[in-house]
A = this chain, B = another copy of it.
Amino acid sequence: MAMALARTPPVGAHELPARRYARLAEPFRLYRGGVIEQPVVAYECWGRLNDARDNTVLLFTGLSPSAHAASSAADPKPGWWESMIGDGRPIDTRRFHVVCVNSLGSPFGSSSPVSIDPRTQRSCGISFPELAVEDIAAAGHAALATLGIERVAAVVGPSLGGMTVLAYCVQFPETVGSLVTISGAAHANPFAIALRSLQREMVRSDPAWRGGNYEPGRGPRLGLRLARKLGTITYRSAAEWEQRFGRQRVPATAGLSGDFRPQFEVEAYLEHQALRFADTFDANCYLQLSRAMDQFDLSDHGGGSLAGAFAKFARRPALVLGVETDMLFPIDQQREIADHLRAAGSPVEFHAFPSLQGHDAFLADLARFEPAIGGFFAGIRTAG
């Protein structure tokens, strides 16, 4: 059986004063059979747990971000959902205790392929066991347990985080007060699988991947760059790019048409996004998280029936948000989630936003997302 160990805290953690680490009970058994020893989940918190311990909002992330969803006194750097979380913000930290967990398998503090195995003093790398979305959810649940939190007022997540919300609800239904899925999916469709499969092949095809056995920090940077370019293309929409870039050219390369170098602004934008990702993300972590998204199918928890799976967490109030221009987690998949939740007796608020920003709209079109999320949280009753 595959195993992996993790040291807590990882190297460099002193630079991240808001990041905390939850040591989970051992061994942490994975959904597809592997085991993680010395399992750890990195997380950040905002607001305060009330005396009734019923005001926690558990936030899962998309594929790329860390647990740094918002700034705090300890770390004033803006987070990836800065305007959503805080005093007077849609997820109001005067009322809610917000916990954002770094996904298991992600390189930003939780147990993952970059974790150091204390027995070998080397990173786990390709020997990290197969990760499932169910494991990300279970690690978040276990992290809350270390904080003495048994129930959550809401579990929330966009993209991969939206999948994780469903995996959480189906595994721990009695602990969930309500749920918010944003541009998620109950299962990946073949178009998204095709894109992610190609992204993984780009990474694996880079000779620097070395079958997964690269030295930390010397991995397949080219493959990650190419994969992230494809990701960036699919995270937005053609309509947005028409507005933002049109056929604008990069002035500095105007004379370079004789070779095959980038000439258009949109190409420079992709390069910038790709370099930023390749500088910070680990290839084996990327492969694990990407594959987990393809493999996820909520119907596995309902004997092959989606309705059967949704029935396991019936009657929780739910907010389902999606975007009409999302090509990766298309709006029909959001509607599918909303329909199944309603069929299972949940009061569901569903919005299909006409945002131009595609899958990334939850980060970019906050004028639509903030009121919907704020309104939903205002309606959640807590003791505090």
Chain A: residues with CB nearer than 8 A to chain B?
Answer: 2, 32, 130, 187-195, 197-198, 200-202, 204-205, 207, 222, 226, 229-230, 233, 237-238, 241-242, 244-247, 257-258, 260, 262-267, 270, 287, 291, 294-295, 297, 327, 330
Contact = CB atoms under 8 A, between A and B. Distances in A.
Contact of A191 (B130, B200, B241): B241
Contacts of A330: 238
Contact of A32 (B187, B245, B257, B327): B257
Given A188-B247, A197-B266, 14 more contacts: A2-B258, A189-B241, A189-B242, A190-B246, A190-B266, A191-B237, A191-B241, A193-B264, A197-B264, A201-B229, A205-B222, A207-B207, A247-B297, A264-B294
Contacts of A297: 247
B194 A291 contact: no
B202 A202 contact: yes
A199 to B, nearest CB: 10
Nearest to A270: B194
A200 B226 CA distance: 11
Nearest to A230: B198
B242 A226 contact: no
Contacts of A207: 207
28 contacts: A2-B258, A32-B257, A130-B257, A187-B247, A189-B238, A189-B247, A190-B242, A190-B246, A191-B238, A191-B242, A192-B238, A193-B266, A194-B229, A194-B233, A194-B241, A194-B270, A197-B262, A198-B226, A198-B229, A198-B230, A200-B260, A201-B226, A201-B229, A202-B226, A205-B226, A230-B230, A264-B294, A327-B327
Which residue, of A202, A260, A327, has the highest number of chain B Cβ atoms within 10 A?
A: A260
Contacts of A201: 226, 229
A248 to B, nearest CB: 8
Contacts of A187: 247
